[in-house]
Amino acid sequence: MGFVILLLFACAAVQGLVRVDPLVKTKQGLIKGIRADDGDYSMFLGIPYAIVDENNPFGPSIPQTEFKEIYNANDDSRTCPQVDEFTNQITGTLDCLRLNVYVPNIAGSRNKLPVLIWIHGGGFSGGDGGRFVTGPKFLVRHDVVLVTMNYRLGPYGFMCLDTPEVPGNQGLKDQLLALRWIKDNIAAFGGDENKMTLMGESAGASSVDFHLLSDKESLFDQVILQSGSALLTLLGESIPDAPLRLTKQLGYETSDVDEALSYLSKMDTNSVINATLSSHLFFKVCIEKRFDDVDGFVTEHPLMVDSPKIKNTPMLAGFNNKETLMMYAHMRPEQFKGYGTFRNVLEGYFTYDDEFAEMEDLVRRFYIGDEEMSEALRWDLMEFNSDLTFNFPVQWTIDHYLQKGSKIYQYLFSYSGERNFLKKRMNITTDGAAHADEIAYLFDISYEDTPTHEDQRMIDQMTTLWTNFAKFGDPTPETTDLLPVKWVPATKEINNYLDLDKELALRRLPYNKRLTFLKFFFKTNMHRLTLLTK
């Protein structure tokens, strides 16, 4: 094994073979991993990086103490409390703050490898860092160390009460503790602590952006945002009465928030998640109220932050060409009658009054004219929802950071293959790429079959581009048969982007007319942005 560790030798019973299990000496103690059986790398699964405070599971977590004995890192099955997206069952435990480290066997103290750190998406209410969806094989074969993590979700991760005990954004603060753990310990695994790229998709990309904007120490060197930024509508307001609403749903009524929190802290997590669903509560990132002796994380609107990390952190960012395809592909004709998507989506950003109702009509006419709502508008409505929910927030972030001097490689993922993540799960045959479809071309998803020749090429292209960025800060340091197009960064003057499709192509400003319209629309109505004006 290449990286400098202690080794445990276990004699196999069959034919006298010797299995070498990796044992790494970290600042936290000895951690024993396992050899992968699908590549030349080792896995350290389910390493605890923090502990949830059992007296206040809705507040900050506590860094993991040192291990007194060897920690056997061989299980990545723990998830934080949530509704599982595959089984639709409530699952998870608060003993979930774990991370996974995947290390090519050539890594060592004399051959430190760049590090990719993945933060999963899921709307801050679901997901995990396990191998079921984020298998490492495709990425680690490019000689990078991959780290994935869990963080608290839903009420446990994002309840925001504007109090010192539950100030909000606990899930982001969990991630911060994970990043500090990685910074302190990754060298022991053969990772380069000075060449770390933080990446995420959807809510994971929003998380990455919030870390970029934070006033905390710099714990990474580059970022990758996939279909998300801090400007998504996952940024919301505090819900001070949330504990009261949850306890009422559980049959315990009180008007005292502290009493309600104490009651919820003693309840099993399944009941709390079920009550959250029944109460129709959706917990988001909030702008925290400042308190003495409380370490805040998001304390002002992203547009008001002027962090030096923005200019000094190279970025790769983009979105997919039909982000909300999954919402419209199977929508029945009768569902379009009276469909109120324009107001529903715009209310996620703006404070409504009679004057703004006229603005809503302006947006409606831009996208669908004076047409009556019907199935014939299916794809026009998809474009509107994709633009407002994902495309424009990401483009807005890119434009905003370009103005601040950031170096950004922008992409549009358009590829329609046999592995597209959400399309395949939802049996969608329409051409194009829905939200999260690109994940299956970066990660070895456990239930997928052997890739087709075309899909394997996209896997090779995407993983090479992403890992080149991690290694060199440039996705195409040179053109090759696999990557025949030089990916040129976007600038304030020319918004270059790479179209990731069956043929790679360098183009300029995706959805030019639509996103330019929204840029002027938002600029005109900045005074109505709900969270910016509070």
- Phi and psi dihedrals of 147, rounded to 5? -125, 130
Point out which residues pair with 318 in neighbouring strands.
226, 411
Q: Give burial (CB, 10 Å; 0-12/13-18/19+) of 154.
A: buried
Q: Which residue has the tokens 């890739």?
A: 451
Count of residues in the chain = 534
Q: Hey, which residues are catalytic here? A: 202, 323
First to last CA, the chain: 56
Q: In which residue are the tokens 């994940």 written?
A: 439
Coil/strand/helix, residue 328: helix
C-alpha dihedral over 243, 244, 248, 250, to 10 degrees? 20
Q: How many CB atoms lie within 10 A of CB 460?
A: 17
Q: How far is it, in rounded angstroms, from Cα 5 to Cα 25?
A: 7
The answer to whether the beta carbons of residues 113 and 104 sit under 8 Å apart is yes
Please tell me the number of Cα atoms within 13 Å of 321 on its side-chain side: 18
Secondary structure (3-state) at 278: helix
User: Tokens at residue 196, please?
Assistant: 């770390």
DSSP secondary structure letters along 357-405:
HHHHHHHHHHHHTTPPSSGGGHHHHHHHHHIIIIIHHHHHHHHHHHHTT
Query: Residue holding tokens 């998803």?
Result: 445
